[in-house]
Amino acid sequence: MHWNAGVLAGLLIGLVWLLAGTALVVVGRRRRASRAEGAGNMAVIGIFLLAVGGLTWFATLLLSVVPGAP
């Protein structure tokens, strides 16, 4: 694996997406339980951000193991 600045930045960005998505899912579900207006939309956006974060981590780790110039 190549642990350079690009890989570490990609992992950090993916972590931010995952944390933001988790926060939106939790807040959206809590608000939906209290019957707040538009709360389900926050959970949907959170699920989308979780998917983006997971794909970012997958792509970053895939690129870090591809053989190439050091």
Is 2 domain-assigned?
A: no
pLDDT of residue 67: 73
- The pLDDT of residue 7 is above 80: yes
Local structure of residue 35 (DSSP, 8 states): T
Q: Which two tokens stand for residue 30?
A: 């809590």
Q: What is the model's pTM?
A: 0.79
Is 35 domain-assigned?
A: yes
pLDDT in tens, 17-34: 999 999 998 888 776 666
User: Residue 38 is part of which domain span?
Assistant: 8-64
CB neighbours of residue 62 within 10 Å: 9
pLDDT of residue 69: 61
- The pLDDT of residue 37 is above 70: no
Strands (E), 1-70: none
Q: How many domains are there within the chain?
A: 1
How far apart are alpha carbons 6 and 4 in whole angstroms?
6
Is 1 domain-assigned?
A: no
Residue 26, phi then psi, degrees to nearest 5: -65, -45
